[in-house]
Amino acid sequence: MSNHAFEKDYSDDSFWTKVKTYAKSAGETALEPALKMYYAAIDADTPAWAKTTIYGALGYFISPVDVIPDITPMVGYTDDIGVLCAALAATASHIKEEHVAKAKETLKQWFS
């Protein structure tokens, strides 16, 4: 199934609800690429094709329908991380240093 199938599942509210609810259990490994892409997606300079890829990956991340359920101990976020990392690799040229800095600052606030 394509990430684009999950684009319709994305919304800012559902993204932030999932991130805040599951921040500790998802951990920084899952959240860092998600946040970098989130900040890139809301940047007006990011092209539409990259936003579509990002929103598809973030939609998968927040979707309750998952290949590996997020409640599964130890491996629950493995598929999410894979999807996020693939989308991050595809859109890396549009992830600016300011997106990385915002993601790191958000993670610092949550995990410090």
The distance between the two most distant Cα atoms of the chain, rounded to a whole number of Å, is: 38
What pLDDT shows up at residue 89?
95
Question: Does residue 1 carry a pLDDT above 90?
Answer: no
pLDDT at 43: 98
CA distance readout (Å), 91 to 29, 35, 68, 84: 18, 13, 24, 10
What is the spatial distance between Cα 14 and Cα 12, in angstroms, rounded to a whole number?
6
The C-alpha torsion from 3 through 31 and 88 to 102, rounded to 10°, is 130
Question: What type of residue is 20?
Answer: K
Instruction: Identify the residue with better confidence: 18 or 39.
Output: 39
pTM confidence score: 0.76
* Tens of pLDDT, residues 38-94: 999 999 999 999 999 999 999 888 876 655 554 554 456 677 788 889 999 999 999
